[in-house]
Amino acid sequence: MKRLVVYASGSGSGFENLVNASRKGALNAKIVAVVSNTPEKGVRERAERLKIPVYVFRPTVPDEYKRITDIFKPDFNALSGYLLKTKDLDPKTTFNIHPGLLPRYGGKGMYGHHVHSKVLEDFAQGKIQRTGLSMHFIPEDGEYDTGPVFFMYDDINIYLSDTEKSLGKRVNVAEHIFQPLVTNMVINGEIHWDGKNYDSLVVPKEKIKKIKMLSVAE
C-alpha cells in the first residue's frame, strides 16, 4: 500500500475524510502523517483522535520539506487546504485540491473564503451561474494553483441568498465526495504526468466522466 502524507492549514476536514476513505478501503493508501503550519485550527485534534502523526511545519527552518520526506518517506503528497508554497516535493506525486475553478479563481491569495467572495462577485455581475472545485499536480517551483489540472467539477449552483460561508459549505461537500475517489486514481497511477511537461498528463476521461455524474446534494 502506498504511503500518503497530507498537508493541511485549515480545520483538517479534508484530511479526516481521506483517512476515513483509506480505512474503509476506498483509498488504496496509508496516511502516514498530516503536516500543518496551523495545527491549532483543528488538525491536531483530528490527528490525535485518528491516531495519525501530526508534524508541525516550521516555515523558518531550511529544507523543512526535505526533512518531512526523509522522516515519513511518502509515495505521494496530498495538499488539502494547505496555504503555504511547497518546494522540494516530487512534482510527479504532489497534488492539491482547490475550492474553485482554475485558472480563473486561483493564484496567490485565492484560497477559502477569498475564492468564494470572488465567485459571488462574478455571480452578482452575471458573469457565472455555477462554481466548483479543481485538483491539480504541483510543479517543481510550487507556484500557487499552477500545474496540470486533472479533475474539475463545475456544477455547484450559486444562489442569490448565498454568503461566502454557505457557498463554501456546498463546495466542501463536493470536495469530500470527489477528493478520495480522484486521489485513489492518482495513487493507482491512472492519473499521472512526468513532472515537467503539461502535455504528458494522462487522465482516463471516461472514468472521470462517470465520477462527475455522482450526485452532490445541495
- Alpha carbon separation from 31 to 136, 142, 163, 185, 195 (Å, rounded): 19, 22, 34, 16, 22
Q: How far apart are the first and last CA of the chain?
A: 34
DSSP state, residue 103: T
For the stretch 152-173, pLDDT in tens is 999 999 999 999 999 999 999 9
Task: Give pLDDT, residue 102.
Answer: 98
Task: Give pLDDT, residue 142.
Answer: 86
Cell, residue 187: 495513487
Task: Give pLDDT, residue 209.
Answer: 96
In sequence order, which ranges of the chain are alpha helices (DSSP H)? 13-24, 43-50, 64-72, 112-124, 164-187, 205-212
The CATH code for residues 2-212 is 3.40.50.170
Dihedral sign for Cα 78, 86, 94, 139, please: positive
Choose among 212, 194, 65, 59: nearest CA to 135: 212
H or E element at residue 33:
strand 29-36
Question: Confidence band (pLDDT; 50, 70, 90) for 217?
Answer: low
Spatial CB neighbours of 199, under 8 Å, sequence gap ≥ 6 = none
pLDDT mean across residues, the chain: 96
For the stretch 8-53, pLDDT in tens is 999 999 999 999 999 999 999 999 999 999 999 999 999 999 999 9
Report the chain's C-alpha Rg in angstroms: 17
- When pLDDT is averaged across residues 133-143 and rounded to a whole number, the result is 94
Count the residues in the chain. 218
For the stretch 107-118, pLDDT in tens is 999 999 999 999
Residue at 133: amino acid letter: L
